[in-house]
Chain A
Amino acid sequence: MSGISRRRFLAASIAGCAATTLCGTQKVLAAGSFTGYPEGMGVLVDLTRCIGCRSCEAACNKEQNLPAPAKPFDDMSVFDETFHGGSQKRRPDENAYTVVNRYEPEGGGKPIYRKVQCNHCNEPACLTSCFVNAYTKTQEGAVVYNSKICVGCRNCMIACPFNIPGYSYSSAFDPVVKKCIFCHETRLKNGKPPACVEICPQQALTFGKRKELIKIAHQRIQNEPGRYVDHLYGEKELGGTGWMYLSSAPFEQVGFDVTTGNEPIIANVKDFLGTVPMVLAIWPALFTGFHLLAKRKDGHGHDDGHGEESGKEGEES
């Protein structure tokens, strides 16, 4: 009798496992094919237009009520700052959600300036990595986070392929992650461009619907093929980003990671994540079942046997 129930139990367990795995996989596969909200906004950054005036940094500082900078925003000596033995230029942190860096193009010519901030991915790795669901990709296209939920684990800092989220190391008691939120609260959700776009004297930053910006970007390349590298960075990289870039120099020469590939980060982990519900939901039941069956068998068939065995052991010794 116990044999039949065990077979049934195992069959039911396997069916359950299969069902959970299939459902889970379908769900994450669906998430992997998400290409952004159709009406999501973005910014087209044209590196050929930027003159490195740092006005965007100043505007961001004011809009987001950030602490006073270490150097004035008209101090261009910040472009010479490097970190980690000169290998790394400035990057955003808790006091500055955007920074502008200067690059000297190979073969001479005018310096190229690149603004760095959150790229507001269609499928943000920070969001994927956050186990308390502090991150949200809004329908307007911004990747925002709820600092009240954030537990300060910094998984998102590791997950972000662009090294964007900063951390409030200065706060001893309530450290949270800090990054550009596309001015979502004060501007974007009211239909206004972010502060950096509005201040830019050169219109190096073009604000609009992401799908329109892609058209505009390719139009610019087509109109002036000598001016641009024939690539729109962020159109496809990592599943697409809300902020996209045009450049006159190859992207790897102006601080971009060209090894990211076009698959969103979640594609690397969705197979694994698909097994998590199975492990969490099925394994406890499965092994509890095994355990109960084993105990039941012990209780009905082997009590005496154990006694005999222990008796024999006693005799031998």
Chain B
Amino acid sequence: MKPSLFHLLPGMFLIILLAAGGAIAAPTGGPAQIKLDRLSSLFDAVNFDHAAHVEIAGDCATCHHHTTGDGAGGERCGRCHAQSPKSAAVACHDCHEADPFTAVQLERKADDRYQYHVDKPGLKAAYHWNCLGCHENAGGPTGCEDCHARNAAGEKFYHSGAFAPKAAAARAH
């Protein structure tokens, strides 16, 4: 079957999205919206309002350590990285691996004879520590579903909603 324009559209749209880094540029210097969809197997994508958070945070470094904010300084990191240039990486996933415990990753960590970067949080932890830490202090939403709306697979996974245990549903009535 010859691919029609209609068939190609989703692919083209995806390429454009990837080219934009999943983001739409905003006047503040960062993207206005960022679509976080790493957990799409269980949850709908989180449409992160970057622009709103830029206003709340005031400074890029509040969230973006080592990169667009400040360098890697401080008592521990500064010993080696005081003179390091700012990293070109901006997004969390540029440094924080989505799969921190694969055999390959563990092997790489075992080779780090200085043991300095072996305990770096994975991507999920990097997001959640950053978001939750601030939300708890600033009174932002902290419930799982406040950010992560579950899809059907997610409901099944948590045995909730349409997949709630019948006994529990009966007790509730």
Contacts and interface: CB of A to CB of B under 8 A. Distances in A.
Interface of A: 49, 51, 53, 55, 58-59, 61-62, 68-75, 191-193, 197-198, 200-203, 206-209, 212, 215-216, 219-220, 223
A202 B144 contact: no
Contacts, number: 81
Contact of B110 (A53, A59, A209, A220): A209
A208 B110 CA distance: 9
A207 B101 contact: yes
B168 A75 contact: yes
B119 A68 contact: no
Contacts of B115: 215-216, 219
A46 to B, nearest CB: 10
A298 B109 CA distance: 78
A81 B167 CA distance: 17
Contacts of B161: 72
B56 interface: no
Given A58-B158, A74-B144, A212-B110, A192 B129 contact: no
A53 B144 contact: yes
B100 A203 contact: yes
B125 interface: yes
Interface in B100-128: 100-103, 106, 109-110, 115, 118-119, 121-122, 124-125, 128
A203 B130 CA distance: 13
Nearest to B39: A201
Contacts of A193: 101-102
A207 B106 CA distance: 9
A216 B160 CA distance: 36
Closest 9 pairs between A and B when the two form their complex, measured CB to CB = A203-B125, A191-B103, A72-B160, A193-B101, A207-B101, A73-B158, A201-B128, A72-B159, A74-B160
Given A68-B165, A198-B101, A206 B106 contact: no
* Size band of the interface chain B makes with A: 20 to 34
Contact of B157 (A58, A70, A191, A215): A58
Nearest to B119: A216
Interface in B79-99: none
Contacts of B124: 200-203
8 contacts: A55-B158, A69-B159, A72-B161, A74-B158, A191-B102, A201-B128, A202-B124, A206-B101
Contact of B125 (A72, A201, A207): A201
Interface of B: 76, 100-103, 106, 109-110, 115, 118-119, 121-122, 124-125, 128-129, 132, 144-145, 157-161, 163-165, 167-168
A309 B104 CA distance: 89
Contacts of A208: 101, 106, 109
Contact of A202 (B102, B119, B125, B157): B125
Given A191-B102, A208-B101, A209-B106, A219 B119 contact: yes
Given A202-B128, A223-B76, A71 B168 contact: yes
Given A191-B103, A201-B128, A72 B118 contact: no
Contacts of B100: 203
Nearest to B132: A51
B26 to A, nearest CB: 27
B149 to A, nearest CB: 12
Contacts of B128: 201-202
Contacts of A223: 76
A201 B145 CA distance: 13
A70 B165 contact: yes
Contacts of A206: 101, 119
B99 to A, nearest CB: 8
Nearest to B167: A70
A206 B118 CA distance: 11
